[in-house]
Every structure is written in C-alpha cells, then in structure tokens.
Structure 1
C-alpha cells in the first residue's frame, strides 16, 4: 500500500477526487462495499457497510431522507455517501455503482436467518435502485472475501478475491 491509499474500514465512508490521486480500498467479508463513481465531476466514494439496517427498521432509505452517521447500515450509508459527494442533484444514470462483498464467511449447520452477507447485498441493491443508480459491476456472495479498490486518479475500480484460511 502506498501513502496515497486510504483504507476504508468497517462502518466508514470515504470520498475523494482524481486531483487527490487517492486510492480508496475496502477489505470485505460479509460486509458489503458500495463504490460510487461520478466521472463527470471527478468524484468517487466508498462505503464499507456492516449490516443492512437497524433491527426493527422496515423500509429502505431514499436520497434526501434523514441521514445516519457513517456506514454501519447500508440503509444509511448510501444517502450519506451521496450527500458527502454533493451528488444529490446528479442526473439519473450519471453515477455508476459498484458492489462487492456480501460473502457467507461462516459455516453454520443451522441458521435462524439468511446469511448476513446476502441480506447486505439485497439491501444495497434495493437502496441503489431506489436512488436511480446504475450498478455497473457486482462481485458478491459465495464464500470468499474481496477487496474493492477505486483508483480516483485513473479512474478505475477493481475487485480482488481471496480465500478464507482453511
């Protein structure tokens, strides 16, 4: 990792531009990474989301809703990310979205609910669709971890997979 790399940790959001020459990076297991690329404005963002929504919350967020603080929940992360990027008035389809993560990192014989990774991905898809965002790449699910990288200078995104230790 170079000094221009910015590791986006669990429950964090980061925004950068091409002029900053930053690389945004999140290492994901069951968490979901939501990357937004607004090439027309040279603005890029990444949210590292732990859970789909708070317990008892029944509907997904839309842009302009009350914003949560950070990226613990997918439902709060996208509106916060849009706000931090100044993208509330972006024309439909101008911002590209990238999703990564949402793996099933635990082997359970019985489960009381769907794997958290799948719930995270489903919520991210719903929230992005509700915001009119176009998903251009998705690498989610399965049993492997991923690293989502957005090079703001290039601009380019990449997803690298890695296996869980045996």
Structure 2
C-alpha cells in the first residue's frame, strides 16, 4: 500500500479529487461499501457502512433526512458523502455508484430474520434510487469478503473477492 492509498475503515467516509488524487479502499464483509463516481469533476467518494439504519428508525422515513452519523448507517452515508464531494447540485445522472459487500459472513441472523448484509444492500439500493444515483456496478451478497478500490487518478474502480477463513 503506497502513501497514495487510503484505507476507509468501518463507519468512515472519504473523498478524493484533483491534486489530492488517492486510491480509496474498503475491506468489506457484511458491511456495504458505497462508491460514488463524479467523473465530470474528477471527484470520487467511498463510504464503509456498518448498518442499514438506527434501531427503531422508520422504514418509511425520508432517507438521508439527517447527516448524523457519517457512514455508520447506510441511510446517513449517501447525503453525507454527496455533501463532502460538493455534489448537492450535480446534474441528474452525472454521479454514478458502485456497491460492494453485504456478505453473510456470520451464521446468526438479525431480529428481522434476515442477514445484516442483505439489509445493508437493500437499504443502499433504496437510498441511491431515491437520490437518482444510478448503480453502474454491484458485487454483493454471498459468503465472501470483498475489497472495493477506487483509484481517483486513473480513474478506475475494482472489486476483489476473498474467501472467509475456515
């Protein structure tokens, strides 16, 4: 990993653009990585989300109504990342998304009887669709971990899969 590399850890957001070109990386299991690509401006962002939404949060609330928790919750990550990228007024369709992660890394289930990875992916898809952001690549689910890499200098993104240790 070079000094240009930035590991985006759990519950973190990162943005890279212009002279600050970096390689953003997130290593994901059941967490979901949301990569935003604003190619027209050369600005890229990555959120490493732990959970879909806070406990007790209504499924029918307006996604992203608050910017409270950075990337801990999928529902907060997209508006926070768009704000960090300065993309609040980006023309429709100009920002694209890449989704990775959301694996079933553990055999336990949530109180909703669904793997947390599935819930994370579903919430990410809902929030992105609600914001009018098109998903151009998705590598999610299953039982393998993934590393989402966004190289803002090239520009290029990649998803690498790796197996769960036995």
* TM-score, scaled relative to structure 1: 0.94
CA contact (8 A) 1:61 1:76 kept: no
Match of 2:5 in 1: 5
Compute the displacement of 1:110 (Å): 9.9
Compute the displacement of 1:61 (Å): 6.7
Structure 1's 62 and 56: CA in aligned 2 closer, same or farther, altered over 3 A?
A: closer
CA–CA distance in 1 between the matches of 2:111 and 2:147?
Answer: 26
Instruction: Give me the CA root mean square deviation.
Output: 1.9
CA–CA distance in 2 between the matches of 1:20 and 1:81?
Answer: 17
Match of 2:16 in 1: 16
CA–CA distance in 2 between the matches of 1:132 and 1:109?
Answer: 31
CA contact (8 A) 1:61 1:79 kept: no
Deviations 1:44-103 (A, max 9, x none): 000000000001111367687321231000000000001000111111110010000000
Aligned residue-pair number: 166
2:68 aligned counterpart, secondary structure: coil
Greater mean deviation of Cα atoms: 81-90 or 56-65 = 56-65
Deviations 1:88-137 (A, max 9, x none): 11111100100000000012499752000000000000000000000000
Deviations 1:132-154 (A, max 9, x none): 00000000000000000000000
Any unmatched runs of 5+ in structure 2?
none
Compute the displacement of 1:36 (Å): 0.2
Match of 2:159 in 1: 159
CA–CA distance in 2 between the matches of 1:82 and 1:109?
Answer: 31
Any unmatched runs of 5+ in structure 1?
none
CA–CA distance in 2 between the matches of 1:110 and 1:84?
Answer: 31
* TM-score, scaled relative to structure 2: 0.94
